[in-house]
């Protein structure tokens, strides 16, 4: 969750993402990209909290002292459980906060005279397309699983299903699936998503 008294814009390009796991995933990814191109030094990543808090975060931005230096805003969130609803939610928030509204994922909208002077884009985990459903955890599983570990994922899925049927219903199955997989592999056990 964001506090307008603590939020400081330190770069001209802001990536606002859903949750601390996504924040550190993106920070580490930007660190990798900085080795390839120094333009990635001009990015800042902030966690807007949960999807219901995006609106508050977007409303706070124009009130910040350095807002007039902001050139781009990219919103990154999970598409689960329904990508069409996720897209509509982001679009409605941007419209209600007087920002330009992209029609599609990964499309950059230039500001118009009636919008704030910030280029806007958004994307969804796991696959950055309009027709995906899932989360950052699904993307991470795609990254770390090889063809040899597909059988391990079947065991993970059976374990999650068994817990859901026998013990209790897991509240965050996408996170449980990833962490179960990571805990069963010696390469990744104990590592954070980033």
pLDDT score of 128: 61
Average pLDDT of the segment spanning 153-180? 83
pLDDT band at 3; cut points 50, 70, 90: low
Average pLDDT of the segment spanning 99-112? 88
- How many angstroms separate the CA atoms of 76 and 17, rounded? 5
Percent of the chain at pLDDT > 70 equals 90
| 36-45, long-range: CB < 8 A, 24+ apart | 41/11, 42/11, 42/12, 42/13, 43/11, 43/13, 43/14, 43/15, 44/9, 44/10, 44/11, 44/13, 44/14, 44/15, 45/14, 45/15, 45/17
Residue 148 confidence (pLDDT) above 80: no
pLDDT tens digits along 76-90: 998 887 888 999 999
pLDDT score of 123: 92
pLDDT tens digits along 35-58: 999 999 999 999 999 888 999 999
pLDDT score of 114: 73
Per domain, the residue ranges of the chain are 13-125, 137-184
Residue 161 confidence (pLDDT) above 70: yes
pLDDT band at 115; cut points 50, 70, 90: confident
Top-confidence residue, 142 or 24: 24
């Amino acid at each position: 969750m964001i506090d307008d008294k603590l939020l400081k814009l330190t770069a001209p390009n802001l990536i606002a993402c859903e949750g601390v796991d996504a924040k550190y995933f993106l920070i580490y990814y930007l660190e990798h990209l900085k080795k390839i191109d120094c333009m990635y030094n001009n990015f800042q990543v902030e966690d807007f909290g949960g999807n219901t808090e995006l609106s508050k975060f977007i409303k706070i931005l124009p009130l910040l002292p350095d807002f007039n230096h902001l050139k781009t805003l990219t919103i990154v969130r999970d598409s689960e459980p329904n990508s069409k609803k996720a897209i509509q939610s982001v679009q409605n928030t941007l419209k209600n906060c007087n920002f330009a509204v992209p029609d599609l994922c990964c499309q950059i909208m230039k500001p118009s005279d009636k919008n704030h002077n910030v280029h806007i884009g958004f994307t969804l985990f796991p696959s950055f397309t309009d027709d995906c459903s899932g989360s950052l955890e699904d993307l991470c599983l795609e990254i770390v699983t090889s063809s040899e570990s597909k059988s391990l994922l079947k065991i993970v899925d059976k374990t999650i299903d068994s817990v859901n049927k026998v013990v209790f219903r897991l509240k965050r199955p996408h996170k449980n699936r990833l962490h179960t997989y990571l805990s069963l592999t010696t390469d990744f056990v104990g590592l954070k998503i980033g």
